[in-house]
Amino acid sequence: MLKQTSNLNEEVTRFVDGLDHPLQKEITQLRQAILNANTGLTENIKWNGPNYCFHGEDRITMRIQPPKQIQLIFHRGAKVLEQPNEKLVNDRSGLLTWKTNDRAIAAFKNMEQILASKQALSTLINDWVVAAR
């Protein structure tokens, strides 16, 4: 049973519930993992998927299409910013594939991968929120 997260957005829940997606349970698990990791995150729909903001700034976007895997895009918003000299966070877990020093992707193909990386993902989310300010 998933822990009920108080900051689940009803609009996002309706969006996810209306999906015909083979990884729908994984999407729900990731939503809760993200929101449980940092209570300062808020949830909305952006770029046709769940999106997570900290103090109104986009930080993590869930890419759900194509439906072979779920990707979490870690970023600093839609605008291109000056690149930091080093990667924004230290990813000891190896979950992130870096695109630039301030943009990375974590990909999940099944529930087992999500559950196995839950603690590491929580740490990454919190580190990202702090570093992306």
Class of domain 10-131: alpha beta
Give percent helix, percent strand, percent coil of the chain, each to the nearest 5: 30, 25, 45
Q: Give residue 133's pLDDT.
A: 80
Let me know how long the chain is: 133
Start-end of H helices in 18-82: 24-37
Residue 2: which pLDDT band, with cuts at 50, 70 and 90?
A: very low
At residue 66, the 3 state secondary structure works out as: coil
What digits encode the pLDDT tens for the residues 46-69? 999 999 999 999 999 999 998 999
Q: pTM of the prediction?
A: 0.91
Name the strands in the sheet holding 41-46, side by side, starting at the edge strand that comes first in the sequence.
41-46, 49-54, 57-63, 70-74, 103-108, 97-100
